[in-house]
Amino acid sequence: MCSYLNQGTPASVVKASYWFPDGETKDPATSAQTIPSNLFTHLFCAFADLDATTHEVFVSQAHELIFSTFTETVKNRNKYVQTLLSIGGRSANNSAFASMASKQESRKSFIDSWIAIARSNGFHGLDLAWEYPNNDAEMNAFGDLIKDLRTAVDADSIRTNKTALLLTAVVYYSSVYKIFTYPVKKMKENLDWVNIIAYDFYDPVSYSQFTAPTAGLHVSPNNIGPTPSGDSGLKQWIKDGLPVSKAVLGFTYVGWAWTLQNNNDTGYNASAAGVAKYKDVSEDGSITYAQIIKFIGDEDATYVYDSNVVGNYCSAEMTWIGYDDTHSVVKKVGYAKQN
C-alpha cells in the first residue's frame, strides 16, 4: 500500500508506503536497503503480531533483526523519513484483536508492549491495522482502544521526554463497514491520520464470475447498482465527521487476476471463471506490479487505462488482470491534492 495526503502545505504532505519483511529472504530486490526512502515522508514496517493469549505485541524471531534495524536502514537515504511499527494486517486473527480490545486490562497489556517495542527499535509511531472491527461491539472497542492508545502515547512522551509517537490506523474504504459505523469522533480526536484502503474492492476468489475494477477511484457510468470506489468512500468518511486533513488515500502495488470465459470479452464486468492460472499468479489471485509488467511484455498483453473509473487492466489469452499503473496513480495523487 502506498498512500497520499495533502494537509494544505508542502511540509504537511504525507507520502507513505508499507514495507513487508518477507522480501529480505524471498526477493532481495525488495529488501529494506532497496527502499527509495527519499521519495517518502513516512514508512510503515509491517507487521508485528498479537499474542492471542497474553494480548501482548511481539515480533516473530525471523523478523527481529530486520525490524530492529529498519529505521536506521531507511534513514541512510533520507534522514528525515519517519517510521511506524504496524500491527495486524489482512491475514491477522481478527478475533484476537476483538478480544484484546474488549477489556481495559488487555488493552493496557497490548499498548504497553507495543510502545516498548516501538521505542526500543527506534520507530517514530504506531499503526493499528485491525481489518476490520466486525460488529457494533467491536467498533466501540476500537474506539476505546485508540483513546487508550492516545493517553498512553502522551504519557510516554512526558515520561521519556521524547516526541510523542505518531498514532495512525488502517481503515476500510468507507466509514461504514457492512452496516457498522466506525467511531469517527474518537478517531478524529485521537489519531494523527487514518490510512484508507481504497483498493482490493474485488478479487477473483470473492467475485469469481466477473472482472471488476479492483481499486477504482470512481464508479463506471455503465455500472448498475452500488459499487465501491475510493471517491465514494472518502466522501462517506468526510460526511461522518473525519477531517480531510486526517484522511490518507491508499493505493496498492498488487493486482488481481481472473480467468476469462471469453478472450474476446476483456473489459470490466466480463464473464470470468475465478483465479487466473497464469504462472506468476498466487493462489488467491494476487500478482505484484513487477510481475504484471513482465506479463504484459512476455505475453504481448493488451492493456487499457479507463479514465472514467481511474484504473488499469490488461489481458492476454484467458488471463485478465486489474491493477493500478502510472496513469491511475498520477490521477489519484492529483485527486488527493485537490481534496
Which position among 56, 64, 131, 317 bears the catalytic label?
131
Q: What is the rounded CA–CA span in Å between residue 57 and residue 278?
A: 38
Q: For the chain, where are the E strands, in sequence order?
A: 2-5, 14-19, 42-50, 57-58, 82-88, 125-129, 166-171, 176-177, 180-181, 193-196, 247-251, 254-260, 272-275, 286-288, 302-306, 311-316, 319-323
CA distance 263 to 320: 9
* Catalytic (active site) residue 131: yes
The sign of the CA dihedral 308, 312, 316, 318 is: negative
* Burial of 195 (C-beta count, 10 Å sphere; 0-12/13-18/19+): buried
Q: Cell for 40?
A: 517518502
CA distance 288 to 266: 20
Residues 6 or more apart whose Cβ sits within 8 Å of residue 12: 6, 245
CA 103/CA 141 separation, integer angstroms: 8
Kindly give, in sequence order, each residue whose CB lies less than 8 Å from that of residue 295, ignoring residues fewer than 6 positions away.
Answer: 278, 280, 287, 301, 314, 316, 319, 321
**Rounded Cα distance, 103 and 339, in Å:** 37
Half-sphere exposure of residue 211, counting CA atoms within 13 Å on the CB side?
Answer: 29
Note whether 52 and 14 are within 8 A (CB): no
Residues labelled as active-site residues: 131
